[in-house]
Amino acid sequence: MPFRRALTILALAAGLLLPAAPASGKVRHVWVAAVPTTFDIIPNGRNAVEGGRFDDSQRIFPTIVYRRYTKGWRRPVRNSPRANVDHDAIPGPLIRAQVGDRILVHFKNKDTLFRRGHSMHFHGVKYRPDSDGAFLPGFSGPDGDVRPGRSWTYRLRAVRRSVGVWPYHDHATSMHESIVGGMYGMLSIRGKKERLPDREFVVVFAPSMSNGLQSINSRSFVGNTPVFKARVGELVQWDVMAMGSEHHTFHVHGHRWLNGRRPEDTRTLGPAESFRVRYREDAPGTWFYHCHVEDHMARGMIGIYRVRRR
């Protein structure tokens, strides 16, 4: 019909002339501080490799971690969205957002332990150089080396290519020590039409603070690593990443998921790589999840996943 066609052409022309629609979405404020804590990597004390027990000096470490706060850093609060872990200091806060959102991360360095500079450097999102958070001598500003007592606001945008999960970590001069000490966390960005999962589990494969051991969220061996819980019928999402210098293979017993169109039950990742997997839970029971690099598993990279019937 000619009249209709004319209307369509007019509408298209108007679309070309109009400026791009303003970014919809929320502005999300996140308050984070680097704080000292004492962290026990093997609370049950058992040496699952050689038998016997670890003494305190092999398992309890003073360290600096990212802690979530209420507005203005008034009060520390939980890092993880749900109480599905028995400790909450490492990794840092799970930062959730949706495509189109702006994320303002207000970071304060309260490192009264080592009195080092710290920062936050984010993968997967869009930002200007002064929100990069990496220390580059002669080039970077205060964002890359926030001194003790000081603060900085990182301004990030979740764009279409931000969908997925991403690491953030300290990128100041002390990053080598502070990452082993637990200064890392994850961003979780969902698409515009994507729903939140019922359960979201954060798994970080990293070398342990104790020499020679391997850790999940800085804990080693079953009985110390996180016990994740879900129910049949729930939409489960695992956010997985690796820090350090080694490759790891994520594996969940009794489950599989789609990578594109390909079903899989293991997925490998290298340093600072990350991915998420989603599935509808259908397998009640007590299961293992672990790194499938056998030497890593034997050195502590293994945990329990409990699924209850509906």
Measured from the CB of residue 265, what is the shortest distance to Cu ion in angstroms?
16
Closest CB 290 distance from Cu ion, rounded Å: 8
CB of 153 to Cu ion, least distance (A): 35
Q: How far apart are CA 7 and CA 299, in angstroms?
A: 68
Q: Which is nearer to Cu ion, 110 or 248 (CB)?
A: 248
Spatial CB neighbours of 22, under 8 Å, sequence gap ≥ 6: none
Contact 219, 42 (CB under 8 A): yes
Contacts of 14 (CB under 8 A, 6+ apart): none
CA atoms within 13 A on the CB side of 187: 32
Alpha-carbon gap, residue 167 to 272, rounded angstroms: 7
Cβ 242 to Cu ion shortest distance, Å: 8
Q: How far is the CB of 69 from Cu ion (least distance, A)?
A: 32
End-to-end CA distance of the chain: 55
Minimum distance between the CB of residue 219 and Cu ion, rounded to whole angstroms? Answer: 14
Rank residues 130 and 265 by Cβ distance to Cu ion and give the closer one: 265
Residue placing its CB nearer to Cu ion in the complex, 57 or 211? 211
144/300 with CB nearer Cu ion: 300
Q: Would you say 248 or 276 has its CB closer to Cu ion? A: 248
Q: Which residues bind Cu ion (CB under 5 A)?
A: 248, 291, 293, 296
| 49 vs 283, beta carbon nearer Cu ion | 49
